[in-house]
């Protein structure tokens, strides 16, 4: 029953929230938010297992899908939408699906989350298949839309991951991996957009960032697959090439102009390769700069 869920309980620490001064109200909200990172830390092994599983599927040609309703669905769409501009990934590599479709991003679509067949239908519409991975996101852990989608994904052999902020969530029964950071009752009962939403956002960030690191979009802690689309990004790319190749600004810019890619520029400067050779080596290394730099071919 919904009223038994931890996230639905009234929080005794904020019982008099409306009677507090504004500053004390902010302190109370902040104190609750401070509990989120610790809750996520408790499930790091499950997050790591999910990243490895997703990366394996993607390396074999699959994609990552987020499936959710309401706040959970919006957070999934947000994370997915940030991957192409942030990491230069193809737009279909990470996809967010929300119950009710795009209109649900800005307004409530009544009943969409209760459509048990909707999750399967929407996954099918996105050409979801056995080689893909899906993260079903539901703070309650029991949203019918997400349950139906995970059941379908499991049935066809896709990798299924459940993300909830309640212990032992129902959606976990249909997932190979369950990630359930227990954040406790919300500061304001009746909505899971605060602590639960923050925990979900943190986990989704970790899943997608971990995937991109494993795909070679990051070298050390530098985002080397940055897309050179404006002056700021060119400046950022130049500084990265200077740092990683140990060269001056003029040399870095010349290599960037030739290859239009930080990774190619680094290979050209550090190894003395022409752009075509650098591109061949990078492709042979699966786009991973570290692997290309270590090649002895």
The answer to whether 277 is a known catalytic residue is no
DSSP three-state, residue 116: coil
Q: Burial, 232: exposed, middle or buried (Cβ in 10 Å; 0-12, 13-18, 19+)? A: exposed
Residues ≥6 apart with Cβ < 8 Å to 207: 47, 50, 51, 54, 64, 79, 135
Q: Which spans in the chain are helix H?
A: 22-41, 44-59, 70-87, 118-125, 144-156, 195-214, 231-245, 249-259, 262-271, 275-284, 289-294
Q: What is the DSSP-derived secondary structure letter of residue 68? A: E
Alpha-carbon distance 196 to 180, whole Å?
Answer: 10
253's tokens: 């810019």
Which one of 8, 56, 113, 243 is the catalytic residue? Answer: 113
Q: Considering 8, 32, 82, 297, which one is annotated as catalytic?
A: 82
Active site residue ranges: 82, 113
């Amino acid at each position: 029953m919904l009223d038994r869920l931890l996230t639905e309980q009234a929080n005794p620490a904020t019982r008099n929230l409306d009677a507090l001064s504004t500053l004390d109200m902010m302190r109370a909200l902040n104190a609750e938010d401070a509990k989120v990172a610790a809750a996520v830390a408790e499930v790091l092994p499950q997050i790591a297992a999910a990243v490895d599983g997703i990366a394996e599927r993607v390396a074999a040609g699959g994609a990552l899908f987020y499936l959710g309703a309401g706040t959970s669905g919006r957070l999934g769409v947000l994370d997915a939408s940030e991957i192409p501009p942030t990491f230069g990934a193809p737009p279909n590599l990470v996809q967010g699906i929300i119950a009710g479709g795009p209109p649900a991003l800005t307004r409530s679509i009544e009943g969409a989350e209760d459509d048990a067949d909707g999750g399967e239908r929407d996954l099918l519409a996105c050409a979801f298949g056995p080689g893909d991975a899906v993260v079903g996101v539901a703070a309650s852990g029991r949203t019918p839309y997400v349950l139906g989608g995970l059941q379908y994904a499991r049935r066809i052999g896709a990798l299924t991951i459940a993300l909830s902020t309640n212990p032992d969530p129902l959606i976990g029964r249909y997932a190979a991996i369950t990630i359930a950071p227990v954040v406790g009752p919300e500061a304001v009962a009746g909505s899971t957009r605060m602590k639960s939403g923050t925990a979900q956002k943190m986990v989704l960030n970790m899943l997608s960032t971990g995937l991109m690191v494993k795909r070679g979009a990051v070298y050390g802690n530098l985002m080397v697959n940055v897309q050179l689309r404006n002056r700021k990004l060119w400046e950022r790319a130049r500084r990265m090439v200077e740092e990683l190749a140990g060269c001056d600004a003029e040399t870095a810019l010349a290599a960037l102009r030739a290859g239009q890619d930080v990774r190619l520029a680094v290979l050209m400067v550090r190894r003395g390769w022409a752009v075509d050779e650098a591109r061949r080596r990078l492709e042979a290394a699966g786009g991973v700069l570290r692997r290309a730099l270590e090649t002895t071919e």
